[in-house]
């Protein structure tokens, strides 16, 4: 299962602070800049869970795989950093099927050129 970095917003923490913390904990990536992406309810008729989406800009180098997560939270996370084209191929093939990640990648596909012009 491939899914985006995710986690709970701690008391007194902003969604942005949580995104930065979780990206460091789960993927060992230090984010240079966060760009707000779509946010909203997963299924308002069923759940009150609210998603805050972000695009994280960071220096990554080549594709890589690693492990992450916190032992005290019993996390066992395998990190996969993919190119945009590879990620979109996995969406098309159905191998990426976690809807938060599908939504973020679809948003990025639509906004990619505009984001490049604005960076």
End-to-end CA distance of the chain: 31
Identified catalytic residue from 13, 17, 73, 75: 73
State yes or no: is 73 an active-site residue. yes
- Say how far apart CA 70 and CA 26 lie, in whole Å: 8
In 3-111, beta strands by DSSP E:
33-41, 50-57, 64-68, 77-81
Q: Which of 103, 52, 60 is nearest to 82 (CA)?
A: 60
Indicate which residues carry an active-site annotation: 73
């Amino acid at each position: 299962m491939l899914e985006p970095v995710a986690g709970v917003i701690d008391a007194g923490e902003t969604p942005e602070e949580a995104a930065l913390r979780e990206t460091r904990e789960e993927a060992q990536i230090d984010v240079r800049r966060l760009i707000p992406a779509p946010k909203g309810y997963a299924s308002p008729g069923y759940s009150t869970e609210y998603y805050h989406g972000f695009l994280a800009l960071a220096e990554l180098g080549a594709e890589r795989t690693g492990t992450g997560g916190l032992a005290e939270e019993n996390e066992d996370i395998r990190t996969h950093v993919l190119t945009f084209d590879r990620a979109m191929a996995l969406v098309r093939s159905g191998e990426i099927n976690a809807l938060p990640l599908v939504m973020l990648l679809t948003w990025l596909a639509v906004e990619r050129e505009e984001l490049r012009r604005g960076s």
